[in-house]
Amino acid sequence: MASEKGEVTETGTVASSNTMKPSFMSRVAAHFKKWWWAYLIAFIIVVLVVALPVVYVGYPNIAQGNIDDSALEVKSMVISDPTPNSFHVNQTQIVKTKSIFHPTIYSFNASVGLLGAAAPFATVTIPQLKSRDGEEVLVDQRLDLTDVSAFGDFATAAIQNEYLYVNVYGKPELRQRGLPKITVAYNKTATMKGLNKLQGFNLFGIHLSNQTADGTNIEGQALIPNPSVMTISMGNVTLDLSVNGSSIGTAYIKGLVLKPGNNTLPMTAQVDLLAMLNFMGKYPGTVVPVDITGSQTNSSVYDGQALSYFSRALASNKLRIALNVSQVVDSSSSSLPTLA
Ligand SMILES: *[C@@H]1O[C@H](CO)[C@@H](O)[C@H](O)[C@H]1NC(C)=O
Ligand SMILES: *[C@@H]1O[C@H](CO)[C@@H](O)[C@H](O)[C@H]1NC(C)=O
Ligand SMILES: *[C@@H]1O[C@H](CO)[C@@H](O)[C@H](O)[C@H]1NC(C)=O
Ligand SMILES: *[C@@H]1O[C@H](CO)[C@@H](O)[C@H](O)[C@H]1NC(C)=O
Ligand SMILES: *[C@@H]1O[C@H](CO)[C@@H](O)[C@H](O)[C@H]1NC(C)=O
Ligand SMILES: *[C@@H]1O[C@H](CO)[C@@H](O)[C@H](O)[C@H]1NC(C)=O
Ligand SMILES: *[C@@H]1O[C@H](CO)[C@@H](O)[C@H](O)[C@H]1NC(C)=O
Ligand SMILES: *[C@@H]1O[C@H](CO)[C@@H](O)[C@H](O)[C@H]1NC(C)=O
Ligand SMILES: *[C@@H]1O[C@H](CO)[C@@H](O)[C@H](O)[C@H]1NC(C)=O
């Protein structure tokens, strides 16, 4: 009932305005003819007041939020052809984002370093990319270290930890289709698996070899597990061998390229056999604990040049294996002219 009454009233109003129409319309027309510019300015102001915050405040905030919410996953990372202050990096990263916006992020230079480090170790050029889930970002370039010591910290963290956190920071330009280009802060930390102290490292098939020209007298296989996605060229690696704090020799792995998964590599060593035989009797079952570690300055040598960053990382890691000296001697008995 009440709604019916309302309708009736409305009809009446329309009817009365209809009777005013000619004079009202001409008055309106005259009003606009005189004041059109004021309306235009008012309209522009309203549009600007509404649109500008959306485009220049809301959009950048949304875009920045999108960037902040996305994540990076390192799928593979190959470090090759190292020199004391540079190397080649070939890295595939995957963008993880749940956003419905897929802005284009233009190529930019980003600093890369360990999260929380005082300084980044290098600048990489991130190629143009579309910020959408599953997008692959390929960085394949020569990388000059801006801070060799910071990269030594990175390499040490990589060898020591189960996980490491790599920060990528830059200020790329970004554009969502149809909207202006803006600059955002790109501050992403990728979580990577590390080498976890090379846990599982072991030696196999260790036997005495005939004294060769290079002075080595033991050879065998080293098992080096690499749980990370990194492939690292360390060159010619030299490791110090000791038992109970006294040096017994040096081990060599030539052209070490550590790949993801289990690496089995030929190893040679120059060992003080008399010292070894001496220790043999001091440990139960002739199983001698052999400590293996790098030297600070030159345990990693590539093309004749010592790589301080990898050397430091190798020196930071103390490996210990249980070596059954009887077994070594037994498996070598066929080629034992020097000991007999
Ligand atoms: C870098 O890696 C990609 C795929 O992972 C490969 O196609 C490309 O050839 C590599 N580049 C170099 C220089 O090895
Ligand atoms: C990155 O830096 C290099 C060297 O400083 C420069 O040549 C290059 O134009 C920069 N790239 C971008 C996308 O800023
Ligand atoms: C990047 O983010 C990290 C925290 O995730 C913060 O510690 C760091 O200061 C930020 N870097 C810059 C340059 O804002
Ligand atoms: C060592 O030399 C002897 C002969 O001198 C040879 O029979 C043996 O196979 C050699 N062993 C190795 C491991 O080269
Ligand atoms: C290890 O060295 C210490 C002294 O540094 C010595 O007392 C101990 O007997 C040694 N152990 C063996 C098994 O040689
Ligand atoms: C590596 O070797 C260890 C022990 O030999 C084994 O337990 C592990 O499953 C191997 N890992 C891979 C990826 O093959
Ligand atoms: C490393 O340096 C030490 C002395 O600083 C030297 O005795 C040794 O031969 C060097 N090793 C390599 C592999 O260059
Ligand atoms: C390792 O040393 C050998 C000589 O013993 C050399 O021919 C080779 O080029 C070296 N490898 C690297 C990667 O430096
Ligand atoms: C060490 O090796 C010898 C000879 O191969 C073997 O008889 C002995 O059982 C081994 N000791 C241990 C503790 O495995």
pLDDT for res 1 = 43
Return the CATH class of domain 68-194: mainly beta
Summarised one tens digit per residue, pLDDT across range 166-196 is 999 999 999 988 888 899 999 999 999 999 9
How far does the centroid of ligand 7 lie from the alpha carbon of residue 237, in Å?
Answer: 11
Does 197 score more than 90 pLDDT? yes
How far does the centroid of ligand 7 lie from the alpha carbon of residue 222, in Å?
Answer: 22
Q: Average pLDDT for residues 197-202, to the nearest whole number?
A: 95
Q: Which of 141, 155, 108, 101 is CA-nearest to residue 127?
A: 108
| Token couple for 230 | 């990194």
Summarised one tens digit per residue, pLDDT across range 210-254 is 777 888 999 999 999 999 999 999 999 999 999 999 999 999 999
**Ligand 8 atom nearest to CA at 235:** 13
Summarised one tens digit per residue, pLDDT across range 87-140 is 999 999 999 998 888 899 999 999 999 999 999 999 999 999 998 999 999 999
In one-letter notation, the amino acid at residue 83 is: T
User: Ligand 4 — pocket residues by CB below 6 A?
Assistant: 209-210, 335, 337
Q: Which of 155, 80, 91, 165 is CA-nearest to residue 124?
A: 91
Closest ligand by atom to 243 CA: 5
Q: Which of 309, 315, 273, 307 is CA-nearest to residue 291?
A: 315
Q: Rounded mean pLDDT of the chain?
A: 88
- Which CATH entry fits the domain spanning 197-339: 3.30.70, 3.30.310, 1.10.287, 2.60.40? 2.60.40
Q: Which of 69, 61, 67 is CA-nearest to residue 110?
A: 67
Mutational test site, ligand 2, from 86, 109, 169, max ligand atoms within 8 Å of CB: 109
DSSP assignment of 167-190, as one string? EEEE--EEE-TTS--EE--EEEEE
pLDDT for res 7 = 47
In one-letter notation, the amino acid at residue 271 is: V
Residue 13 — very low, low, confident or very high, per pLDDT cuts 50/70/90? very low
How far does the centroid of ligand 1 lie from the alpha carbon of residue 171, in Å?
Answer: 26
pLDDT for res 50 = 78
Any alpha helices (H) in the chain, and if so which ranges?
2-52, 59-69, 148-160, 273-280, 308-316, 325-332
Please, which residues bridge with residue 94 across strands?
A: 73, 136
Measured distance CA(141)–CA(29) in Å, rounded: 68
pLDDT for res 14 = 46
Q: What residue ranges do the domains of the chain occupy?
A: 68-194, 197-339
| 249 contacts 271 by C-beta, under 8 angstroms | yes
pLDDT for res 52 = 74
User: Ligand 7 — pocket residues by CB below 6 A?
Assistant: 238, 298, 301
Does 3 score more than 90 pLDDT? no
Whole-model pTM: value is 0.84
**Ligand 7 atom nearest to CA at 295:** 1
| Token couple for 283 | 């440990």
